[in-house]
Chains A and B, each alone.
Chain A
Amino acid sequence: MIWQAFCAVLRRDLLLAWRRKSEGLSAVFFFVVVAALFPLGIGPELNVLRNIAPGVLWVGALLSSMLALQRLFEADFRDGTLEQMALSPIAMPLLIGAKMLAHWLVSGLPLVLLAPVLGLQFDLSGEALVTLTFALLLGTPILSLVGGVGAALTLGVRGGGVLLSLLVLPLFVPVLVFGAGAVEAQVSGLGVQAHLSILMAMLLPALFFGPLASAFALRIALE
């Protein structure tokens, strides 16, 4: 029953995202554009680009995630589905978790897959690209899970988008520090173990607390 509910919500969200492809694609496209803007702004010297690549790509992923977060609960809030989820006998965090998984599959996973390609623009080495991909694979779900709290709190609030960014950026800082740090560590020859372990250590509690905190925040918004 619980598993079925989870899958039903997941399938529904994926279907809705598929029907409105442009929404999902625009956030991903944003990532591509940002990654292209930096070399244009800074200059084509490969040494410089290689240095800034981890930071730039991670910040691009962060900004893209922030844009996508606005869509996490918006539609369901407006048409009343969120209220139904709050009233259902299935634990709300579970259903929220399904929404977050769908959200990550649509907005986060494409970033993970695109990053190595964009990394080539910055002349990152093969191993660095692998590290970047793996770090984003661990980090982008954290963004969806933790960002959900911000998305829930700013539901239907004036100036929601910018406010969401302001609320959520401090929460993203540790992910950014260790995610970009992992790639830099790889490039400078230090081990990436530590960084990736810490990302994993942040992901596991986020899997549990993210949906829980977001469900709590949604109940505040739904009153």
Chain B
Amino acid sequence: MNMFRANFWLHYAGPQAFYGLAGRLWPWCAALAVALGVWGLWLGFMVAPADAQQGEGYRIIFVHVPASWMSMVIYMAMAFWSVLGLTFNTRLSGMMTRALAPTGAMFAFLSLWTGALWGKPMWGTWWVWDARLTSELILFFLYLGYIALTSAIDDQRRGDRAGALIAIVGAINVPIIYFSVKWWNTLHQGASVSLTKSPSMAQVMLWGMLLMAMCFWLYTIALVLYRVRTTILQRESHTAWVQTIVQEAA
């Protein structure tokens, strides 16, 4: 099939086709994630030397930075699927957004947690109200808000569309908050220390971090594809093809 034709994509927009595709893809993503993770951790903990200023404590960045990146990437993916869903009214978009949210929330939490554990020994404080940390915190709240809203609405389609709107509004809001807090900080001279200055990194440290980032990314893809399959089975349970699968699984 020529992937430049619209039919190629529209074919997989249908839950049944996507179920099959996701089923074939996720094991490969998971295996790749494990491989990259092992390699990344090896580089990060067994090869990379201690940092000149931060000693061994800097090694937290091998999970902190990838987690932060993922929390933002996942939210952008949610916003993307939301726009798609509201524009084309596809059922799958809502399911994908819902499948992404828990993982995104987890990474946002991990970003905050590991960030605090990194900040305390290095800069003496668990938390600081700089633009980046504050935006990450708000991002975490946005994830929770999305999950709460979609869980509270019984009608699945209404929940999808309401969630899509809140995801899009949140995506617009995050940069606004980032710049608001940045300005707010510059006006309060000396009130805060920025925890964003990362150490200038040796090659091997950078590699370790990038490998871990790719590991987290593939982990997310594998998990989300797996999760959306469950949602598809649930929502399409009245169709013949799901009935067949249920029968075969018995």
* Chain A interfacial positions (CB closer than 8 Å to B): 149-150, 153-154, 157-160, 163, 166-167, 169-171, 173-174, 177-178, 181, 185, 190, 213, 216-217, 220-221, 223
Contact code string B102-143 (vs A, CB < 8 Å = 1, else 0): 000000000000000000000000000000000000100110
The docked-state distance in angstroms from the alpha carbon of A158 to that of B152 is 6
Q: How many B residues face the partner with a CB closer than 8 A?
A: 25
**Chain A residue with the shortest CB-CB distance to B147:** A166
Contact A174 B180 (CB under 8 A): yes
Decide yes or no: A177 and B181 within 8 Å by CB, A170-B145, A220-B162 being known contacts.
yes
Could you say which of B12-20, B44-52, B169-177, B202-210 contacts chain A? Answer: B169-177
Contact B141 A166 (CB under 8 A): yes
**Interface of A (DSSP majority class):** helix
CB distance from A37 to the nearest CB of B (A): 23
Contact code string B157-185 (vs A, CB < 8 Å = 1, else 0): 11001100110011001001100110110
CB neighbours of A157 from chain B (8 A): 149, 152-153
Contact B158 A170 (CB under 8 A): no
CB neighbours of A221 from chain B (8 A): 158, 162
Contact B166 A167 (CB under 8 A): yes
* Chain B interfacial positions (CB closer than 8 Å to A): 138, 141-142, 144-145, 148-149, 152-153, 157-158, 161-162, 165-166, 169-170, 173, 176-177, 180-181, 183-184, 187
Could you list 27 examples of A-B contacts with CB < 8 Å?
Answer: A149-B165, A149-B169, A150-B166, A153-B165, A154-B152, A157-B149, A157-B153, A163-B145, A163-B148, A163-B149, A163-B152, A166-B144, A170-B138, A170-B141, A170-B170, A170-B177, A173-B138, A173-B173, A174-B173, A174-B176, A174-B177, A177-B181, A213-B165, A220-B162, A221-B158, A223-B157, A223-B158
The docked-state distance in angstroms from the alpha carbon of A87 to that of B161 is 20
CB neighbours of B165 from chain A (8 A): 149, 153, 213, 216-217, 220
The docked-state distance in angstroms from the alpha carbon of A150 to that of B169 is 10
CB neighbours of B180 from chain A (8 A): 173-174, 177-178
Contact B152 A171 (CB under 8 A): no
CB distance from A198 to the nearest CB of B (A): 8
The docked-state distance in angstroms from the alpha carbon of A150 to that of B167 is 12
CB distance from A195 to the nearest CB of B (A): 9
Complex A-B, nearest 7 residue pairs according to Cβ-Cβ distance, in ascending order: A174-B180, A177-B180, A220-B161, A167-B145, A153-B162, A157-B152, A166-B145
Contact B141 A169 (CB under 8 A): yes
The docked-state distance in angstroms from the alpha carbon of A169 to that of B170 is 11
The docked-state distance in angstroms from the alpha carbon of A208 to that of B83 is 20
CB distance from A168 to the nearest CB of B (A): 9
Contact B152 A173 (CB under 8 A): no
